[in-house]
Amino acid sequence: MAGKYLTTAQAAEYLGVSNRTMRRWRSRNIGPAYVRYSDRTCRYPLGGLERFRADHAAR
């Protein structure tokens, strides 16, 4: 079975940010990795979200 993929809303909640922030990051190519299925549908792999959170943790 493939890894788990989250919707934008689920990914935003996981990272503790708003849906708007997720969309802004996508438009600027600065956020976590995602897969775009169509103009209106994209999903975030859970592993990518975990890496993004670890890479951006305060040290």
How far is it, in rounded angstroms, from Cα 36 to Cα 57? 26
- The phi and psi torsions of 5 (rounded to 5 degrees) equal -115, 140
What local confidence, expressed as pLDDT, does residue 33 receive? 95
Q: SS3 string of the chain?
A: CCCCEECHHHHHHHHCCCHHHHHHHHHHCCCCCCEECCCCCEEEEHHHHHHHHHHCCCC
What local confidence, expressed as pLDDT, does residue 2 receive? 60
- The structure's pTM equals 0.86
**Contact between 52 and 26 (Cβ < 8 Å):** no
Mean pLDDT by 10 residues, the chain (59 residues): 86 96 95 94 96 89
